[in-house]
Amino acid sequence: MDFLPLGLKLTGQTVVIVGGGDTALRKAGLLHRSGAVIRLIAPQWRTDLCALVEQGGGDCRQRVYQEGDLDQARLVVACTDDDALNQRIAGQCHARGLPVNVVGRPELSSFVFPALVDRNPLFVAITSSGASPVLVRRLRDQLEAWLPARWGRLATFLGRLRESVAARLPGRRQREAFWEAQLDGPLMEQVLSGHESEAEHALERALAGIDGNPAAARGEVYLVGAGPGDPDLLTFRGHHLLTKADVVLYDRLVAPEIVALARADAEKVYVGKARDQHALPQGEINDLLVHYASQGKRVCRLKGGDPFIFGRGGEELENVVAAGIDFQVVPGVTAAAGCAAYAGIPLTHRDHAQSVRFVTGHRRDGSVDLDWPNLMAEQETLVFYMGLVGLKEICAQLMAHGRAPDTPIALVSRGTTDAQEVITGQLDSLPAALEGRTVHAPTLIIVGSVVSLHPRYRWFGEAGRSTPDA
């Protein structure tokens, strides 16, 4: 490697920056956060740059660079527009044995600034040794999105308890094994979800087990919304818990690409349900969550869409709560939001709808017996889940109770996937237009003036195709 990544303590140390532009401001911001005292040299500079330097107790010298500016410096950063000057600064620093970074010129530099993912006190540094800054930024952005914001809190929590654990476990290997076990257990998830007191109790139980009073193995249940179909709509927290699970229970609405994100050694159990075709009855699914968690396993129940919006998530948690098993619920992008966005249909719009209502189009007994009089507001968008079989009845009842026959309606089939199809029409014509036509589930029905905005608001990367005016 061309540069060895190191952590350097700069608190109270003088760092020289030669240059007063945008690059100097970026480097000064990073050095300021590290506690360095900055000495800024430039004939002119950004006002906010000088203010930042002075805020950290540094000084601003508004003149051309002189070699004496390097005196008592710990590091030097050269970021002027004058390449000859940057080379001269680098040569003088090398002669003094003083670390120098010439921005954009790694061959002249003795150190480089890595891109940082900051979860203070936890940091991830990324560098290409100056070969490809754009690639480094891209990787940093991906890690920023993947690494939960609360990992800094987790690092602080663990650091606060290091001494007490070390007193109980004097052997280094024993301590490492203990902490590895904790990071694979409930302690980590409790801190990341903001429940630090529960995490401390979990730690005490673990220490009690080491002291000869082992606590019973405790499993967990993660109820995770997998989104409406597109694997990219899985949340980062959902992905995090999925990759921790020992057992994954998933249904037919979960994309195979999402299931594939689980650990290779995780047990994967299909519990999918199509209309009137259940792989497992709902009661058995509820029991399975308790069954696996009672064995001390981490169980991820992957559900299409959002678990608490027509996902029967509340039902599945009943047995878990009754058994006293720890659980987490991770919301997902519900079908109404995901499918409408991918179809280019805003659910609310100042000129069309001031509210939106989610309605089940399929009762437990298979009927479509709804509170129709309360679904008549013209300025409200209606979204029917599981309404394909009852589409004709839904349209008829809406018109019978006052909705205009020419009210726009859209049916979104296999929304957010590559096979998405959007079929638009009116209440009085759409059911007849679909007779004899194969429409694939899952489907979502959107009723209201906002449907008229399709396909104008359809984004250029929309999956699938549209069939207007069915």
Average pLDDT for residues 85-111, to the nearest whole number? Answer: 96
Helices (H), ranges, 34-184: 47-55, 83-96, 133-146, 151-168, 172-183
Q: Residue 79: CA atoms inside 13 Å, Cβ hemisphere, count? A: 21
415 is in an annotated binding site: yes
d(CA 154, CA 112): 29
Predicted confidence at residue 146, as pLDDT, reads 81
Helix %, strand %, coil % of the chain (to 5):
40, 20, 40
Active-site option among 82, 268, 273, 428: 273
Q: Which residue has the higher pLDDT, 101 or 129?
A: 101
Q: Is residue 85's pLDDT more than 60?
A: yes
93/74 Cα distance (integer angstroms): 10
Residue 207 has pLDDT above 70, yes or no: yes
CB atoms within 10 A of CB 301: 31
User: Is 386 one of the annotated binding-site residues?
Assistant: yes
Residue 23 annotated in ligand binding? yes
pLDDT band at 459 (very low <50, low <70, confident <90, very high): low
Annotation says 251 is catalytic: yes
pLDDT of 252 above 70? yes
Confidence class of residue 400 from pLDDT cuts 50, 70 and 90?
A: very high
What pLDDT, on a 0 to 100 scale, did the predictor assign at position 279? 62
Q: pLDDT band for 213, please (50, 70, 90 cuts).
A: very low
According to the model, what pLDDT value does residue 197 have?
87
What pLDDT is attached to residue 218?
64
Pairing of strands 115-119, 122-126: antiparallel
Residue 335 counted as an annotated binding residue: yes
Kindly provide the residue ranges of all beta strands, DSSP E only, lying in 294-447, ordered along the sequence: 298-303, 326-330, 355-360, 380-385, 408-413, 421-426, 443-447
Q: Active site includes 273?
A: yes
Instruction: Give residue 210's pLDDT.
Output: 65
Query: Is it the case that residue 184 has pLDDT exceeding 80?
Result: no
Q: For a pLDDT cut of 70, what percent of the chain falls above it?
A: 92
351 is in an annotated binding site: no
- Is 3.40.1010.10 the CATH number for 220-330? yes
305 labelled as ligand-binding? Answer: yes
CB atoms within 10 A of CB 69: 19
Asked if residue 446 belongs to a known ligand binding site, the reply is no
Q: What is the mean pLDDT of residues 388-399?
A: 94
Position 467 pLDDT exceeds 70: no
Q: Report which of 329, 338, 330, 342 is spatially closest to residue 358, judged by C-alpha positions.
A: 338
Question: Rounded CA gap, 331 and 308, in Å?
Answer: 8
Show me where the domains of the chain are located.
14-113, 151-210, 220-330, 336-467
184 is in an annotated binding site: no
Residue 46 to residues 27, 28, 43, 61, Cα–Cα distance (Å): 13, 12, 11, 13
Mean pLDDT of 376-382: 94
CATH 3.50.50.60 fits 336-467, yes or no: no
Range 14-113 classified under CATH 3.60.20.30: no
pLDDT category at 274 given cuts 50, 70, 90 is low
The verdict on whether residue 44 carries a ligand-binding annotation is yes
State both tokens at 47. Answer: 């006002």
pTM of the predicted structure, to 2 decimals: 0.60
Active-site hit among 251, 297, 303, 326: 251
Reply yes or no on whether the pLDDT at 216 is more than 50: no
Is pLDDT at 292 greater than 80 in this prediction? yes
